[in-house]
Chain A
Amino acid sequence: MSEFEPTIVAFFCNWCTYTAADLAGTSRLSYPHSIKIVRVMCSGMVDPKYVIKALLEGADGVIVSGCNPGDCHYINGNYKARRRIKLLKEILPQFGFEPERLRLTWIAASDGLLLSEIMQEMTEQLRALGPSEARLKMVI
């Protein structure tokens, strides 16, 4: 039996984090292949329903990543994302998901290595948490 490989849906902002992901790719840094990257223009564009949709589709975890505070190309989209994700984490248990399955990070353009580390770390955490069972329980 091979090790559980959690599926992570990653919403990356077009400016900083996506650049970091590119950098991680061109620098041949390893990150888990089960990450599904969805490019959005801004982390502030990530509607909570997209996160929930991803979890319902079978994602074991969702990561939203944008520019560092003060860095946002759109001035303050990342701050809005921060507020939104915090609230979303509060209500996730009502959908049957552990709040740890959702994570918000800031990854700057040159932090390819950090991105790879965060992905590894998240994978480890989700491994410890086990596969998301919510989808099995819920019928929508």
Chain B
Amino acid sequence: MHKKIGKALVVGAGISGIRAALDLAETGYGVTLIDRSPHMGGVLSQLDHQFPTDRCGMCKMLPLVDRDASSQYCLRKGLFHENIEILLSTELVSVDGEPGNFQVLLRQKSNWVDPQRCIGCGECAAVCPVEVPDTFNVGFSPRKAIYLPLPHAVPNSYIIDLSACTQCGECEKICPTGAVCLSEQERKRFRILVVDDELIVRDSLKEWLEEEGFSVDMADSGAQALQKLANDTFHLMLTDIKMPGMDGVELLEKAKEDQPGMCVVMMTAYATVETAVEAMKIGAFDYLVKPFEPDKLIPMVVRIYEDLEATRGRRVEAGAVVVCGGTAYYDPSSGINPFGYKVLDGVVTSLEFERIFSGSGPSAGKLVRPGDGRPVRRVAWIHCVGSRDLQAEADFCSSICCMYAIKEARLAREKSHGEVETTLFFMDMRTFGKSFQRYRDQAESVCGVRFERGRVHSVVGDPDNGDLLIRYVDTAGKVSESRQDMVVLAVGQRPAAGSAGLAAALDLPLNSWGFGQTEPFSLTRTARQGIFLGGSFSGLKDIGESVTQASSAALAASRVIHQSGGSLALETPPAAAPRNVLREPPDMLVVLCICGGTLVQNGGGSVLIERLSVDPAVSNVTTIDKTCTSEGWEQLVELVEKHKPNRLLIGACQPYVYARKIRQLAARIGLDASLLDVVDLHLSAVRSPNDPCDPPDGFHPALRRQLAALETGLARLKHVDPVRRSALKVQQRALVVGGGIAGMSAALAIADHGYPVDMVEEQATLGGNLQWLKRTLEGEDVTALFDETRQKIDKHPLIETHCSSRILTSFGKVGHFVTTVETEGEELRTLEHGAVVLATGGKEAPTDAYGYGTSECIVTQKEFEMKWADGSLDAGKLNSVVMIQCVGSREEPRNYCSRVCCPSALKHALALQKENPEISVTILYRDMMTTGFTETYFTEARRRQVLFVQYATDNKPTVKVDGGGARVTVFEPIVGKELEIEADLVVLATGIVPNLPGKLAAAFGATIDPDGFFQEAESKWRPVDSLKEGIFACGLALSPRSVTEAIATAEAAAQRALRILCRDSLPAGKIVATVRRSLCSLCERCIDACPYQARALDANGEKVIVNAAMCQGCGECATVCPNNASVVDGFGQKQMLEIIDAAFH
């Protein structure tokens, strides 16, 4: 248990929100994680497949260090972490205060079903008469008004969709546990008084408002109203102005004396509007002009009600706020060209396609057209729907659509065993990330996906057979037609619904398209200090980028909390050592939850008690009602304290719910948490249709299954043998290799949290590529950034820089590495550190293509940048400049996109144009990689007459040096002719190569990928980690990226390192492997089998040692061990064999 010092708020529980919350929680902060939807996971809960594995892997985001503090099951089910409080169906109302000390107001909506009581039996949905389209399956399948928001969430409690619910009350009647509380609705508690002398007005208002669920009372005069106000509390009064006797204004005055907090709305005829306005001056909230319709009245009342609810909302304090508000997708039917969406059967969006393809989707993963159910043989994807489209007011690229379209096409091919024909219609194939290009090439060459460059004009249906006809223009300008069964629109990003409101509540600026705006050189910092952006709220990103940015935002938040006094250092209270039960015979208490009588069915309880009591290890079997409620749990705690067992088995539903309680109970009674377990009786109690109705021995199969589940639990618990493992000491300092912008940012991020950092730089000075890079495409001053960062480094008391130095060797593991550093002209130095960040950078790739080196008129982009900066390049003297992109890039052996060259070319072209508007600039490209909002510069360049000529790899341009200039020939596909361009200057974009020697990576136990970049543990879920814990990478060493993106990766890497550095020791997990030395023959098979490099021979080569912090408990070592010497806690051989035995009872 850590002492929680600082608190953070994370808004949005999609993948970025989860990452940010976990990062902060793992560094010991308390986190409040909110989401306005009733489930976690954001859009990813609907997506089953992610490239490059084309599968999932989300669970790899779960903590690896101290992993028992968090849930250890599929992240799609949900998440819990000791330090995270999750509030769903919750919105942020306001944030006041300053960084380090924000007061946040939240509003949590009730879902009308008590999650504490709901057992997910589904009886309510069965009787619910309302059917509406299911949002989880993007409307393809129906659901009831009472429904499960996610089919696979845990705990999975039903909720009521109030907009669909007719409040018939059927669900409430049938619910076996009384979880549905429609009649206790909060709206009922909102009391409205209607005052009018006309009966018809009073009656119709009462009817309208009661239909909305409010409580309504009536009065026919001011006097009667005052009488009612004196006796009862009302929240809202609707009063007529013109009434005999006391008029509305007088009533308002008197009523305000009685109930000053009450909201009053005046109802007025047109003639008395002025009086109404006057009334507002003395305290009326608003007025309505008679006659009015319910659609005028109801929204106003609902707003008043919600505002009142908001003030009753929950207040939390937070040092910093991370906003991961997510994104929405373009609705093609709202555009000028909807491509037949919502008109033709078989035209779907990419998200809809994902659902069609999902095992939990409307057609259970079978590729059929929604609507007519026709099997699909031919599918086409249309790219850039709602992106890169000025007509759709989208002068941006949505960055992820190209890749998800390729993924979907590959999956369609794979799942249909190559039977489905797939075609992608695209403008530029933006494969700008690490490994994207190879994935695309493979899609074409191995999987057989067809790539068709062109622009789709329209999609029409063939009335004869329902086929879809795509009409498109290819690169040569020819109009063609393509016949398909299904057309998938690769829709782009739009700001998520409510983004503007969220931004307003947080006082954050948005960019011109409504996405979150960040500060220069940061993907996370906003104009408001202490509030940071994560994920797609600031523009759509793929998972890897979102996760990186979320970690970076977590780092920024952590910095604020730390600087405002919340120390990161964890205080571990001297936890009493759990009782040693090793020599005690098992003394087990079994508690069965009868769950209001539903779980242990009719008399089944006594049978179970009788059977379980037979086991000599079991000393007590009892039943408790509703263990999941606080009363039930207290009863259980009392029992445990009374019996003092040394093992506890609970039979209940939803075992996952108990993880946190179990840990607390274990600490309280001084037992190791592994001696307490919960087995699921609920799932086994579900009656299968195959069950015989009348079993011959009276022993119902469902009961038999429950017994088997319990006996399995007994078998596992009986043999638990908790070994006290000493936690591993952590050397709380870091090593950063490389002193470029990434290295410097990482070092600062770690040192700002109070941990010393050694920074080793090969060159004599810091800065790396910042020494020559001057400005970004957006016009930000790189030199100023460099100077500022370097000054911070120089002044920082905790950062020691070692220039002209290199790493010689390193050994050790997470928590304690020992590294030898050689500095020119100095003695060797040994550094001890707990984590290492590799920021070794990269450089412009060398080339000899296109006549480079034969003439001064052929330069690289870097040379251009340097010449431009030192003034040796005079735009006025140039008539024609040709830029050639992808020189040696995106084809073997350097088959990856370097990401920065296209924006650089635009930067240079626009700069040249600005200096000399007469100049002719031609950019020869393969695919313009202007992702995200850099697309606007591409548009601007075309507007400024920069010429773009697309070339193919099998027909590359040629450059001939001619006098002082050069002649460039290129085939121009639109005119279908070869062009010859005379150029005064040819600029080659050669891309980036990494500077990460394999030996250096290997010294720490990391690996490099085939292109020489750092091999991350998982490109999507762990993008800056090495598979071996404790080693992180950032900047160009990881993959090509811009300065801003490099800083984000650096902060992410620092954040990941801080998870380790913030602890003085690393605790071992509950399920880890050990070695029985007496049985071990030192064959070392387990060392090879361990995927986490957690095993090694000790220094003398006499025994195999397991690093308990690195071991994740997968059990590979135990399976390969020929002598049963390797044992995984909780899954030992004896346990497993007995569990198998128990399963047969």
Interfacial residues, chain A to chain B (CB-CB below 8 A): 2, 5, 7, 9, 14-16, 18-19, 21-23, 25-28, 30-33, 36, 38, 40-42, 44-47, 49-50, 53-54, 57-59, 67-71, 73-77, 80, 84, 108-114
Contact = CB atoms under 8 A, between A and B. Distances in A.
Nearest to B1144: A57
A41 B1071 contact: yes
Contact of A36 (B359, B691, B1089, B1144): B1144
Contact of A15 (B74, B702, B1141, B1143): B74
B1131 A45 contact: yes
10 contacts: A16-B56, A19-B76, A26-B152, A28-B686, A42-B1115, A67-B55, A73-B57, A74-B1112, A76-B1091, A84-B1119
Interface of B: 48, 53-57, 59-60, 72-74, 76-77, 120, 122, 148, 151-152, 154, 156, 358-360, 364-365, 683, 686, 688-692, 701-702, 705, 708, 712, 1027, 1071, 1089, 1091-1092, 1112-1116, 1118-1119, 1128, 1131, 1133, 1136-1137, 1139-1141, 1143-1144
Nearest to A71: B55
B1114 A38 contact: no
Contact of B360 (A44, A58, A112): A112
Nearest to B361: A110
Nearest to B704: A33
A136 to B, nearest CB: 15
B380 to A, nearest CB: 26
Nearest to B1018: A75
A47 B1136 contact: yes
A16 B73 CA distance: 9
Contacts of B708: 36
A40 B1132 CA distance: 11
A84 B1120 CA distance: 10
A44 B1131 CA distance: 12
A19 B73 contact: yes
A40 B1114 CA distance: 9
B821 to A, nearest CB: 31
B770 to A, nearest CB: 36
A26 B56 contact: no
A19 B73 CA distance: 8
A69 to B, nearest CB: 8
Given A27-B151, A36-B708, A108 B1118 contact: no
B435 to A, nearest CB: 13
A31 B1114 CA distance: 28
A18 B668 CA distance: 31
Contacts of B1139: 38
Given A15-B59, A22-B77, A44 B1119 contact: yes
Contact of B1133 (A5, A23, A31, A47): A47
Contacts of B72: 14
B1139 to A, nearest CB: 6
B152 A110 contact: yes
The B interface, classified by DSSP as helix, strand, loop or mixed, is: loop
Contact of A57 (B74, B1071, B1133, B1140): B1140
B1136 A41 contact: no
Contact of A19 (B74, B364, B689): B74
B30 to A, nearest CB: 27
B683 A25 contact: yes
Contact of B1128 (A45, A54, A59, A71): A45
Contacts of B48: 108-110
Contacts of B1141: 57
A108 B56 contact: yes
A77 B152 contact: no
Contact of B156 (A2, A26, A46, A58): A26
Query: Top 6 closest A-B pairs, CB basis?
Result: A45-B1115, A70-B53, A74-B1114, A36-B1143, A111-B359, A19-B74
Contacts of A32: 688, 690
Contacts of A38: 712, 1136, 1139-1140, 1143
Contact of A109 (B76, B692, B1071, B1092): B76
Contact of A30 (B151, B689, B1071, B1112): B689
A58 B1141 CA distance: 10
A123 to B, nearest CB: 9
A33 B692 CA distance: 10
Given A38-B712, A50-B1137, A50-B1140, A44 B359 contact: no
Contact of B359 (A21, A28, A73, A110): A110
A60 to B, nearest CB: 12
Given A2-B692, A18-B74, A74-B1112, 6 more contacts: A15-B74, A23-B151, A26-B152, A36-B1144, A45-B1128, A71-B57
B1144 A50 contact: no
B1143 A40 contact: no
A31 B72 CA distance: 26
Contact of B1091 (A31, A57, A74): A74
Nearest to A113: B364
A70 B57 contact: yes
Nearest to B1017: A75
A112 B1143 contact: no
B1137 A112 contact: no
B10 to A, nearest CB: 24
B1140 A33 contact: no
A54 B1140 contact: yes
Given A26-B156, A41-B1114, A71 B359 contact: no
